[in-house]
Structure 1
């Protein structure tokens, strides 16, 4: 996979490398790294910090949701290897299915443990050492450990491969232990390349706090938290976009315009920001500006059905029936089954009848 032209999203703090340096490297290689996901996100990086902030069920739901959108999922280590910031793993030959068959570890667990770098390899082909680890993890699961407890614990040991020589145990707690000569002990050790992690974790927590307030409908509070976040990281287009959405929901439209524009200055390819800004300026009577913004969103994402529909409606309301018909036809190429599609079909029929009556007259 090439980095150039790709938009990467991320969930959870990145524990193995400073995020700002990763973002700089992605930009250098012609891509973009954002927090969260947008319509144009092609790859999603799952940071290990998510293990400390989210429940196992929430993580699994998010993984399933992003996989269902056909996005490529990457672990931290897989992301570093893609960028050339970590050495390629040793030659391996085991397929994912072979690892599953020989370890009796459930396929879903193999994928989740891979995504949080509990193996040497984050995807197939896997190594023989990965098979040893998979068998150990299967034993831990059988003793009552969850995959998230395993993923959180194993990174305390430093090099994952070193676990192959240890006898791992779970005793009804949230920790995996190693049996050594002196008895059971935790898998203590520093995370690899743990540079500037406290600052990164603080940012991640602030962003998560803002998201929680937004989801709870406390839009003024969410906007205030996003503002604090942006005072620390002035380069985050998604935070600016999210703040604009909260301001809109709180009825603070003038401020919302400012943050949509800010998001677009940071990332001119942010299709959703163009779309939402179009809706806002349209409501304020700036039809030409709304038309330009919707056209920009469609130029960036040709399958952005909502933008196509809204542009058709805008042209219809403005009396540009030929343009409205053109965009409604395009919408029906993207959506044939929804209630919006029925509206588009009625719009096309109306314009056809109108044009026919003018011709007949």
Structure 2
């Protein structure tokens, strides 16, 4: 048993430590399931360091959504420690609250810096060196350096703890370190590669950006390239199916939903969306089976209950519809669809009264 046994792990951004295919194998070896992004059943989300190279505003939105859903955000080092591939950090005396109070960092900035391993420890208790670093980062933020520039620069330093002994400044939009007789730039410069090989993680991030911007044809093509590099990527197949469905290419979308489910039979959102396609095409029996399969994987999936009730109502199976809408209301009594469920139940009661059943 490991700390990750039985967990479904989502990943946002590519990992710097190793390619996704190796991370998948490592997670499986630890008794966990690893997917891109987040879905129902995801208990923790790993934020890969390469996400710092992409859209920072979107990264912050994803992090805020993960926190709001009550999922646990995990740094890349935290993930490696959970897999047993990295030693646990040196225990320290400081809690998260104490670090924020004593450093002057805003809670959001502190959490994001910790999430991208800008401290020796990714979670509390934090060390004395971590507190020194937090104070230095607070000064850099006051001088105009954004949190993500600090995190990127720290990763160039190698030994994060060693930065506690250096003076950090912002000069010409670069973060530099000073010690007696020496000045060095932390942020560094990348090296130009000729004809680089395609990277599935980078392609996936590009595809997500295109999808978010509404460029669905481009996104579908990029997800297809991801799948050509990694045919086991159920989330790329699912996302491509969503794009194709929006474009009206239903047969192709159904094929990709099925491809996602072939790789991950517990992917409840794929069962749900495939059921929606089947219902739109008039295949009620198939839609019912797909929704039932989604609920078998996740018995608390309220959206699937509602849609199953609606299918049964439209098919004239009122007892079944009544049962599913009542079950739905046990999970969602106040949401925007709850009133529709109650209206459905009233219609059933009216019909039963009219027929004396």
Q: Per-residue CA shift, 1:272-326, capped at 9, x if unaligned?
A: 0000111111222222211111011112222222211110011111111100000
Q: Show the counterpart of 2:83.
A: 83
CA deviation after TM superposition for structure 1 residue 12, in Å: 1.3
Residues 115 and 290 of structure 1: CA distance in aligned 2, closer, same or farther (over 3 Å) = same
Structure 2: distance between partners of 1:63 and 1:222: 22
Structure 2: distance between partners of 1:40 and 1:126: 30
Residues 200 and 123 of structure 1: CA distance in aligned 2, closer, same or farther (over 3 Å) = farther
| Contact 1:13–1:200 (Cα < 8 Å) also in 2 | no
| Contact 1:13–1:201 (Cα < 8 Å) also in 2 | no
| Contact 1:18–1:200 (Cα < 8 Å) also in 2 | no
CA deviation after TM superposition for structure 1 residue 107, in Å: 1.9
Alignment of 1:133-282 (within 5 A): 133-173=133-173, 175-187=174-186, 202-282=199-279
* Alignment RMSD (CA, Å): 2.2
| Contact 2:132–2:164 (Cα < 8 Å) also in 1 | yes
Structure 1: distance between partners of 2:29 and 2:77: 19
Matched, 1:297 2:298: no
Structure 1: distance between partners of 2:149 and 2:218: 33
| Contact 1:157–1:189 (Cα < 8 Å) also in 2 | no
| Contact 1:104–1:138 (Cα < 8 Å) also in 2 | yes
Secondary structure, counterpart of 1:130 in structure 2: helix
Matched, 1:318 2:315: yes
CA deviation after TM superposition for structure 1 residue 347, in Å: 1.4
How many residues align? The count is 352
Q: Per-residue CA shift, 1:66-99, capped at 9, x if unaligned?
A: 1001110000000100111101111222111221
Pick 1 or 2: higher relative contact order, CA cutoff 8 A, min separation 6.
1
Structure 2: distance between partners of 1:8 and 1:323: 35
Secondary structure, counterpart of 2:124 in structure 1: coil
| Contact 1:154–1:176 (Cα < 8 Å) also in 2 | no
Structure 2: distance between partners of 1:152 and 1:213: 24
Structure 2: distance between partners of 1:69 and 1:336: 18
| Contact 1:281–1:290 (Cα < 8 Å) also in 2 | yes
CA deviation after TM superposition for structure 1 residue 141, in Å: 1.8
| Contact 1:93–1:126 (Cα < 8 Å) also in 2 | yes
**The one of 348, 353, 357 aligned to 1:356:** 353
CA deviation after TM superposition for structure 1 residue 340, in Å: 2.3
Secondary structure, counterpart of 2:303 in structure 1: helix
Secondary structure, counterpart of 1:49 in structure 2: helix
| Contact 1:332–1:344 (Cα < 8 Å) also in 2 | yes
